[in-house]
Amino acid sequence: MNNLISYETLFVRVAVYSVQKSYGLSPDITKQIVQELLSQLPINKSGLASHQEVVSNNIDHAMQTAISTTPKTLPPCQSSSRQLNEIVDPLYIITPTYRRPEQIAELTRMSHTLMLVKNVNWLVIEDAKVATKHVTKLLEKTGLKFVHLVAPMPEKYKLKKGAKPRGVSNRNRGLQWVRANATKGVLYFADDDNTYDIALFDEIRQTKQVSMFPVGLCTKYGLSSPVIKNGKFSGFYDGWVAGRKFPVDMAGFAVNVEFLLKRPNASMPYRAGFEEDGFLKSLAPFEPREIELLADNCTKILAWHTQTKKNEPSAPLNMTLYSSTNLVKLKQLIV
């Protein structure tokens, strides 16, 4: 079937994907441009069109994967641990992010943590219509296996007054990717501004269904954790219960991929404050008593809900004074 693809088709795809790579076009826009250009080609007006779509979808997928997941060079620590990488099941770390002054700093910090983790697949999903070029560049530099996607928050939630369902479109997009591409391993929602002890990742790797563990610096109690009495789960400690069945923090649980795949409808609701609870409830059948307790029976804090000070967007550069200086390039990195 592959030989149904004409050189012109291939040429269009390669050209558009290379622009995507250089300028950070979103995958959706890239796909649209490819389709638009292909519809102008004479070959698509022939009866080959339906076959082509099947093949082209495969090519889309193969190219996206090649672009987004293959590091050009691995840092020394990564190449030496490559063999180790292959003997442990993969971790899928879903990280929502969005354009703001702290974004690149947060992602730099987080990438340095993940560089110390074996067989990790980092799904970085931007709440944006178009992928940010500086994010793509950062990801390429890390040598990590990564997938860079966009999933903008739907307008109706953006316009809503009060608390917004932050990171939900991103996480649901991540879940969709995992369903389409993963067969085993463990999934974890890791916001870009939290702090993770590298020991956390070997802990969550053991997850058979759903595991939970304490998170520091959360809510008015400064802590969110399962409560363990006489060695057994006996409830939750969290400063904001609000009738939730699972009053836990987003950073306080991990899910086995096979367990998730058996629950095709599991997803996160667009309901501020109830995202974790809604998602965990959508994993039914699953009850609190079945939680696997990690971090030495929940006696250690391996995830911290840190929050970076919010910076105001920066004032523009005075081009009369600085147009021919290094500051022009530097300012492109600052929101």
Residues that bind ligand UGA in the complex, under the rule CB under 6 A:
96-98, 127, 153, 166-167, 170, 191-193, 249-250, 272-273, 275, 307
191 part of the interface to Mn ion, by CB under 5 A: yes
> Residue 66: what are its φ and ψ, rounded to 5°?
-60, -40
Q: Is 275 near Mn ion (CB under 5 A)?
A: no
Is residue 154 reached through a cis peptide bond, with omega within 30 degrees of 0 on the bond before it? no
The dihedral through the CA atoms of 287, 289, 294, 300 has a sign that is positive
List Cβ neighbours of 145 (8 Å cut-off, separation of 6 or more). 69, 71, 120, 121, 122
Q: How far apart are CA 46 and CA 38, in angstroms?
A: 12
CB of 125 to Mn ion, least distance (A): 15
Closest to ligand UGA by CB, 17 vs 189, is 189
Please give the residue whose beta carbon sits closest to Mn ion in the complex. 193
Output the DSSP codes for 129-153: SS--HHHHHHHHHH--EEEEEE-PP
Given 203, 276, 287, 292, which residue is catalytic? 276
Nearer to Mn ion among residue 193 and residue 292 (C-beta): 193
Residue closer to Mn ion (CB basis): 213 or 286: 213
With H, G, I as helix, E, B as strand and everything else as coil, classify residue 319: helix
How far from 87 is each of 43, 143, 255, CA to CA, in Å? Answer: 46, 19, 20
Told to check if 106 binds Mn ion by CB under 5 A, we report no
Residue nearest to ligand UGA (CB): 167
DSSP state of 3: G
Q: How far is the CB of 55 from ligand UGA (least distance, A)?
A: 34
Considering the complex, state which of residue 44 and residue 195 has its C-beta at the smaller distance from Mn ion. 195
Answer yes or no: 276 catalytic.
yes
Does residue 126 belong to the site contacting Mn ion (CB under 5 A)? no
96 binds, options Mn ion, ligand UGA, none, Cβ within 5 to 8 A by partner type: ligand UGA
The four Cα atoms 230, 233, 237, 240 give a dihedral, to 10 degrees, of -160
Q: Return the axis-axis angle of helices 27-40 and 7-23, rounded to nearest 10°.
A: 150
Q: How far is the CB of 271 from ligand UGA (least distance, A)?
A: 9
Q: Contact region for Mn ion (CB under 5 A) — 57-65, 90-98, 191-199, 296-304?
A: 191-199
Distance CA 175, CA 257 (A): 10
Rule CB under 5 A: choose which of 127, 140, 193, 249 binds Mn ion. 193
Q: Which residues bind Mn ion (CB under 5 A)?
A: 191, 193
Which residues belong to the active site?
276
